[in-house]
Structure 1
């Protein structure tokens, strides 16, 4: 079984939706548990991928509705954000106290946009022989981004946007346009 912990409803929904797409026409069954919905509506037997928020997962464990004994893959998504919103004690309880297999018996992955000291400590505590992979500069922004601001009359915005997209077709770049119409 895989357990994916996410800090917010929006994120768990995205993860669950992608898990459903990847498992389509297979024997893999994803499910989700989150606060704000009926416990009975969320309880399913023999789920292969469980996506959850830490608080609701602990609630389901305490009710005897979820067991973590078969977890072989643990994913902490947006680990930095979960720490920022004070989920660390809940995460530690889930990982350390609920009969989840030890780090050597499961694969644990942590994903984080930033990697502050608290997140590094969590990684050391939960990950077995972990590898730190950074894309770009940790905590920084890409220095190759060029930002342009154009003031355009309301009536000309659509035409200007089309014109910019047609002329700036650099295969190495991306144009992001935010237009208020």
Structure 2
């Protein structure tokens, strides 16, 4: 199976999957979900075999199914790294590098990579350059690394 879009997310995978299903409602666009654990593994693989346009996955599970050749990403045109700063802070950098370096993943010039984050410290911005196009767009709402004025922290 070949995917057109892949979203890597270390947390909240089910919530993102549910939202993607809403976006695809009454359209031919389908979504699939891959996350860790053995309890739903067979169900996840069976749904994946039916095909999908959007795949929401944790990095480790995506690597697992790619290595077992359940899927290939040669048709992936959009790679989304949600909560990118958290993924990199939590030590997912080697897995992300492994995914983008796989032979079936289109090179940077042949796919769009989007990274989303509530905060984006300078060291993560520097690291992110390895995954993005040289002419990437950095869009910040508010001050990077600051908290909202509307939130009182205790």
Q: What range describes the TM-score normalised by the shorter chain of this pair?
A: 0.7 to 0.9
Normalising by the residue count of structure 1, what TM-score does the alignment of the two structures yield? Answer: 0.75
Does residue 12 (structure 1) correspond to residue 13 (structure 2)? The answer is: yes
Deviation >4 Å, runs of 4+? none
Task: Specify every segment of 5 or more residues in structure 2 that has no aligned partner in the other structure, as ranges.
Answer: none
Cα displacement (A) at 1:104: 1.1
Contact 1:3 1:74 in 2 (8 A): yes
CA gap of 1:146–1:125, structure 2 versus 1, over 3 A, is closer
Structure number with higher relative contact order (C-alpha < 8 Å, ≥ 6 residues apart): 2
Q: Does residue 1:82 correspond to 2:75, yes or no? A: no
1:103, CA displacement in angstroms? 1.2
Match of residue 174 from structure 1: none
The structure having more radius of gyration, on CA atoms, is: 1
The answer as to whether partners of 1:77 and 1:110 remain within 8 angstroms in 2 is yes
Unmatched tracts of structure 1, length 5 or more:
148-181
| Separation in structure 2 between the aligned mates of residue 47 and residue 105 of structure 1, nearest angstrom | 20
Mapped pair 1:135 → 2:138? no
Question: Counterpart in 2 of 1:169?
Answer: none
Partner residue in 1 for 2:105? 100
Q: Which residue of 2 aligns with 1:21?
A: 22
- Number of aligned residue pairs: 144
1:50 matched to which residue of 2?
55
CA-based RMSD of the aligned residues comes to 1.5
